[in-house]
Structure 1
């Protein structure tokens, strides 16, 4: 979106805690957040949001004196928009609504039989404080998906539009001539029995343990299958393991997959797309949480996706229509569906085409950007 605004001659200022790569026509102003002093665990995130709001507000007030912005667009979950209305009373305020935390029927209690501890429920409820205060001051707001919008309180939902950040479907596209070279030098190409799995970090939120157990079952049935996993060893969206090991280390020990699986910590974007282009089956699992861009990019590349039958995923994957679905916690069912997909590649081609068509119809980048810039012009004029 920023590139489109700059091309139109709009003056763009990025207020950020972490400097981004320099871009023509974009001014960056970096802020720092004061160190937390709270001793109450439920207030840790709230204090961070408050201090972020204070830091960003100081910069907004400086801009107001020298070059007042017409419109401010910002993520409402991290505190930066908390005091924007006070600092810039005449500016149009647009909020990006990524995720509203819930203590029940959410990522917090997904797949857990015992009650969630009261301290955890209180902690996630307090994480929403900055969002609710910011929502009350906005001129417009939007969420990337229908499911993400539904997580917000009913009183606010009618004010939140739906607009994804957008997928570049010209870059993310099928390529029958694609090639992907593994770190050990092996070359992979379309048609090979390659099963892929991608996450920022390999953690339970994205179903990494379930995938590894299913892969171990499938490896015994399909000696020719190769599993390629991309993801880091950080704790991701969950908590670190109590034994100090990464989930990758723990699952390799548990499954004994050895050289049947290749782990790659990180890939440049263009190489990730090539991996999607050669994938025979792409597995995407997620607890009820923010939908990964990687799923939509894989679909745009024509991947045959086997996904978890969880709400964020079922919004984009229709079982037997543009992909295959399986229960999140059923590793045997997951192995069965991946085997089904590997064994019936020709019959699965319509699902691949439909996956790409789904992304083009609902998530194509140019249309998403046009809608976002339309709001900016609406509130900036």
Structure 2
């Protein structure tokens, strides 16, 4: 078959599926904004395209999000037309619609079967929109109208996709019932043969010191350090945590940008805002035990998880990060927020500990308690890895199910809702 992948940052969620399909003999092509020149990666031909149109002035702020998606969709449409005119007609299109690129592909290839990655449907109820009272939008009651309009892109894609895939039940469950008819819940997959516990692991820090499993290491990982992933809660817990654990080293991974939610005040970063908030309550010797590592290469990231005694993961009701499952696969003892997405992965007292997202004191108590109890850490870590191997393993579970999903998609008629 000829299979076209669409992802603004390819391979993204298709980093395992696309090479597997290419290895199975399918002709795989990807359109993406990520690269500037054509290249081949693991048997997949990657073709770049660019965005020429800029967002216009005077756009109503409630539809800025959709305007951005239409601009991207137009650019992808022209790239697809060019690909079609050069003789490429895909049997299957697999795409992430989150940035809009896939909006017009049915118009280019009406007979192609289209499978979409349904990541999240934006909910405007109090449990989601009003989850964190500290960061409520200034638009007040009207904010729920803006959030509703963010689903224009999701709604348009309902008519485009033949089958859908979501990585977790929580994410699939955010979509209306009519979407659920199309969606299979299949995680992207964790390579548990690669992400393993390693008692001999070591990680060199920026100051030249080296931490191992013999050290009290607390880890916290975000793609970007921001409130959506509980960075503010974790930072506010640091003064007490550092005081109660005078030998602990705190390793924080994440960039300075914004992936989700509100942007910080002009010219500032969430990272620095919360450093400034807590720094005066942390003596310099204690602060020297806090290490901001920025974004690190994947091999160093795995070493970081392998030396972690306690890994803290916090999130709003939102998508779950790969890093959580990777930490579990490395047998880290997890302390996580008791928010809806986590209930799928963590059972309190069995394979991790859950605390109220906003309760920094309870967070410190759980971390300190696990630091004192090596047997419990080991028990939770083993159970965490077993859970990931059983439910999210790439080779034995997720990738075979993804490949079966592709086969189901190939057997459909375009435009027919899946079972």
- Give the TM-score range, shorter chain: over 0.9
Provide the residue aligned with 1:298 in structure 2: 327
Gaps of 5+ in 2: 1-16, 412-419
Q: How many residues align?
A: 381
TM-score (norm 1): 0.95
Of 155-164 and 142-151, the range deviating more from structure 2: 155-164
Q: 2:358 aligns with which of 308, 329, 337?
A: 329
Q: 1:54 aligns with which of 74, 79, 84?
A: 74
Provide the residue aligned with 1:371 in structure 2: 401
Q: 2:54 aligns with which of 29, 32, 35?
A: 35
C-alpha separation between the residues in 2 aligned to 1:155 and 1:92?
A: 18
C-alpha separation between the residues in 2 aligned to 1:191 and 1:78?
A: 44
Provide the residue aligned with 1:89 in structure 2: 110
Provide the residue aligned with 1:25 in structure 2: 43
**Deviation string, structure 1 residues 210-263 (Cα, Å, up to 9, x no partner):** 111212111111111111111111133132322643222232232224212111
Gaps of 5+ in 1: none
Of 274-283 and 27-36, the range deviating more from structure 2: 27-36
**Deviation string, structure 1 residues 79-113 (Cα, Å, up to 9, x no partner):** 12212222211111101001111122454321228
Provide the residue aligned with 1:250 in structure 2: 273
TM-score (norm 2): 0.87
C-alpha separation between the residues in 2 aligned to 1:97 and 1:312?
A: 15
**Deviation string, structure 1 residues 129-170 (Cα, Å, up to 9, x no partner):** 121111223221010100000111122213211011111101
C-alpha separation between the residues in 2 aligned to 1:316 and 1:351?
A: 13
* Structural mapping, 1:150-189, within 5 Å: 150-189=173-212
Asked if residue 130 in structure 1 is aligned to residue 153 in structure 2, the reply is yes
* Structural mapping, 1:211-360, within 5 Å: 211-242=234-265, 244-256=267-279, 257=282, 258-360=287-389
C-alpha separation between the residues in 2 aligned to 1:192 and 1:22?
A: 43
Provide the residue aligned with 2:124 in structure 1: 103
C-alpha separation between the residues in 1 aligned to 2:127 and 2:77?
A: 32
C-alpha separation between the residues in 2 aligned to 1:131 and 1:30?
A: 24
Pairwise CA RMSD: 1.9
8 Å Cα contact 2:309/2:377 also seen in 1: no
Provide the residue aligned with 2:8 in structure 1: none
Q: 2:227 aligns with which of 196, 200, 204?
A: 204
Helix, strand or coil at the partner of 1:47: helix
C-alpha separation between the residues in 1 aligned to 2:151 and 2:46?
A: 27
C-alpha separation between the residues in 2 aligned to 1:225 and 1:51?
A: 48
8 Å Cα contact 1:95/1:135 also seen in 2: no
Provide the residue aligned with 1:76 in structure 2: 97
8 Å Cα contact 1:77/1:128 also seen in 2: no
